[in-house]
Amino acid sequence: MACNDQVNVGLGLSCSTEITYDMVLEDPNNPALCWPVGPSAYAVEVYGPNGQVLPTSPFVTEAELNILLPVKVRHLASGNVCWSNVWVQDLRLPQLLCPPDTTLPCTAAADTAFTGWPQIIECSDFDISFFDITTLEGCQNPSGILTRTWTAVDAYGNASSCSQQIAFALPHTDSIVFPPDRNDLEAPALQCPNPDLSPDSTGRPTIGGLPIEPGNSFCHVAVSYSDQVFSPCAGETLVLRTWTLIEWCGGTVTTHVQRIRVRDETPPVVDCPPDLSAGTDGSDDCSGSVFLPPVAAEDECSDSITVKIVTPAGVLFSNGGWVSGLPPGQHPIRYEVSDACGNTSICEQTLTITDDDVPVMVCDYLTVVGLNNLG
């Protein structure tokens, strides 16, 4: 009974291989050497580099790739033993199953998120890559076909490939969807300040839910737009965007008006003056006069700001000014600050009028006194 010095074995489909007696013995089924013969007549043990029997013995797995393993074969009836070495290799090509062929809208990108990845069965580390070849079919349907060739290469240079076809459907007028109006009816209006009026923000015509980008090779559709801009007040804008689509294959021209409204719904930011105190001004009616300071106000959408000051003595239509005829006591002062679109902020202060006039005594110049009967 003799063993081969070394046996090279490759892993199977399950990434494991059983080491059998007839792989290791030089003349495994010669009854003149050992009797009985056959699989049940021998015991095979595979050892790891640490000298211990492998937990998977007599099977070797991808964990033992490129490792020389001692193998002991024992004839059960006679007790004879011989030793060999097994070199475990990955000789199989990666098993590659491409994703199914598919058809996409002409606007879609052939991204693997949509087209899928192949299934791979491989016992060792591997790299996977693909390259694309595009064929344009003009006005036929599909309008283009992309052939994607996938290649997997394992750590030992074994490689295999498969191909996938991705077709792009020629669009029809009915499949084109225009962007919604941005006017708070179909979709939210834009807000001042700094509204983004570009189609990237407000929407483009779509096919299959994806925008028709300039330079698309598969859709055979040209897209352009023009804007008419109306501004009823500083900060508010209405844009009438006219989209024009030309289908090169059918010659159809389609137009659509998209309404884009920019709203100014933010009132000015106001910094109210502090509360004021003043004394009476010595007038006969014991009232006070005071200069109301201007309010500090800013508006992000409008340069035009109007201020109205409401007092118990009347209304000032200016940002600050004199008010008179206020009796002693506390008086509410309300500042109403409005932008060009009518958005208004209100702030209030308290004005206190103090009676600080010195009393003035007035004597009669001539007093006539009458006497009674007692003198």
DSSP string, 297-319: EE-SS-S-EEEEEEETTEEE-SS
The domains spanning 6-89 and 95-169 adopt the same CATH topology = yes
DSSP string, 256-273: EEEEEEEE---PPEEEPP
- The domain at 6-89 falls in which architecture? Sandwich (2.60)
**Superfamily of 269-354 according to CATH:** Immunoglobulins (2.60.40.10)
Length of the chain measured in residues: 375
One digit per residue, the tens of pLDDT, for the chain of length 375 reads: 899 999 999 887 788 899 999 999 998 888 777 888 888 899 999 999 999 999 999 999 888 888 999 999 999 999 999 999 999 988 788 888 999 999 999 999 899 988 999 998 777 778 999 999 999 888 888 999 999 999 999 887 889 999 999 999 988 878 889 999 999 999 999 999 889 999 999 999 999 888 988 878 899 999 999 999 999 888 899 999 999 999 888 888 999 999 999 999 899 999 999 999 988 876 666 888 899 999 999 998 888 899 999 999 999 999 999 999 889 999 999 999 999 999 999 999 999 999 876 566 556 666 666 666 665
DSSP string, 225-260: EEEEEEEEETTEEEEEEEEEEEETTT--EEEEEEEE
- Which pLDDT belongs to residue 168? 93
Q: How far apart are CA 348 and CA 273, in angstroms?
A: 8
- 95-169 maps to which CATH number? 2.60.40
For residue 332, the cross-strand partners are 350
The H-or-E segment that residue 112 falls in is helix 112-115
- Which pLDDT belongs to residue 214? 80
**CA-to-CA separations, 205 to 202, 265, 315, in angstroms, rounded:** 10, 29, 53
- Which pLDDT belongs to residue 374? 65
What is the residue type of 324? S
Domain ranges of the chain: 6-89, 95-169, 175-263, 269-354
Rg (CA), the chain: 47
- State CA 143 to chain mean position distance: 31
- Which pLDDT belongs to residue 273? 93
